[in-house]
Amino acid sequence: MTVSPPPPPPVAAVPGARSSLPGIPIWGTVRDAFHLVRRHPKETMLPLFAVEVPVVVFVTVVTTLLYFTVLKDEPFRQQEDLFTEGSAGAVFVFVLLTAANALFSQVARGATIVSIAGLIGGKRLSLSQSLDPAFTHMGGLLALAFMMFGGAVVLGLTVVGIIILPLLALRFALTVEAYMLDGGSPIQALRRSWRVMGGAQRGANAFAGIMTPMMLRLLAVFVVLVLLIAVPVLLVQSISELVSGGRTAQIWLSGGIAVLQTVLFVPVFAWVSAALTSFYLQARDRANG
């Protein structure tokens, strides 16, 4: 049975929201997102656990089997070295696995957005109610991933593209939230993200409309989140430095560490999703007047 995303909540239900149209509180959005995850760990983290962990385990098992069978003569390499030093066959296989992992990560993010929006609106959704819209919209999530990744690659080929890429990234940063919560096509979601990031006060856009106040606030939210999670993220990532020893030991250790890192990152991803979902709901209310 297809479950529709939760209805848009009123402004007052959004953590940190204000009744007036002026800016979205930056620290309040990040703080309230943290409290939302802490008070509702099941609703905010379970969709991530339910999708991310099984997929990472599957990819790890497949990778391990490949190294012991088809790629038994291939030296073990960390992912960052594989694409520059690995054989064509190994690169092709791991590109497919990485793409599958990325797709299901988008599904996990979509389910988390739906669940968090439900909480903000005062409704607790079950795991199936959160996952169903995300899997139903898997094709659209895949299309969005291709469009945004492809656009970034094309822009990255020119000097002008590199300059405007950060601005466009901010304009379209809430596209997945728009797609999961308001439906429609991927193109419509891109348009909605562009519109809500334009801000409610058309004449007050900073830098002659290039960088709007809403974009500046979202950038500030990103900066606050990065500063707060930098240390734990670096600590978790440093676990990969433990991979050493012979080829067999490296394969087993790398797989186990990949699963462990995914589990440890779930609360961080949930916190970031809560902050961005809250920001989108507030920005949408202001864009709608």
In a domain, 94, yes or no: yes
Question: Which domain, by its residues, includes 156?
Answer: 41-287
**Tens-digit pLDDT profile for residues 141-152:** 999 999 988 888
Predicted local distance difference test score (pLDDT) of residue 198 = 82
The single residue listed with the structure tokens 């999530």 is 141
Q: How far is Cα 169 from Cα 47, in angstroms, rounded to an integer?
A: 26
In a domain, 219, yes or no: yes
Q: Which of 43-47, 82-86, 159-163, 190-194 has the lowest mean pLDDT?
A: 82-86
Q: Dihedral (C-alpha) 175, 180, 186, 191: value to the nearest 10 degrees?
A: -50
**Tens-digit pLDDT profile for residues 17-26:** 333 445 788 9
In total, how many domains does the chain have? 1
Q: How far is Cα 82 from Cα 106, in angstroms, rounded to an integer?
A: 24
Alpha helix locations (H) across 88-137? Answer: 88-120, 127-136
In a domain, 164, yes or no: yes
Q: How far is Cα 119 from Cα 274, in angstroms, rounded to an integer?
A: 10
Q: How far is Cα 201 from Cα 205, in angstroms, rounded to an integer?
A: 7
Lookup: tokens for 163: 């300059």
Long-range contacts at 163-171 (CB < 8 A, ≥ 24 apart)? 167/210, 167/211, 167/215, 170/197, 170/211, 170/215, 170/218, 170/219, 171/197, 171/215
User: Cβ contacts of residue 80 below 8 Å, gap of 6+?
Assistant: none
**String of DSSP letters for 20-54:** SSS---HHHHHHHHHHHHHH-HHHHHHHHHHHHHH
Lookup: tokens for 2: 């297809």
- Calculate mean pLDDT across residues 43-63: 93
Predicted local distance difference test score (pLDDT) of residue 88 = 72
User: Cβ contacts of residue 23 below 8 Å, gap of 6+?
Assistant: 213, 214, 217
Predicted local distance difference test score (pLDDT) of residue 108 = 95
Q: Which of 31-45, 197-211, 267-281 has the lowest mean pLDDT?
A: 197-211
Which of 91, 65, 96 lies closest to 79, judged by CA? Answer: 91
In a domain, 34, yes or no: no
In a domain, 54, yes or no: yes
Residue 77 pairs in a beta bridge with: none
In a domain, 177, yes or no: yes
Asked if residues 74 and 67 have their Cβ atoms less than 8 Å apart, the reply is yes
In a domain, 100, yes or no: yes
253 burial level (CB within 10 Å; 0-12, 13-18, 19+): middle
Predicted local distance difference test score (pLDDT) of residue 138 = 93
Percent of the chain exceeding pLDDT 70 equals 82
**Tens-digit pLDDT profile for residues 232-276:** 777 777 776 666 667 788 888 888 888 888 898 999 999 999 999
In a domain, 16, yes or no: no
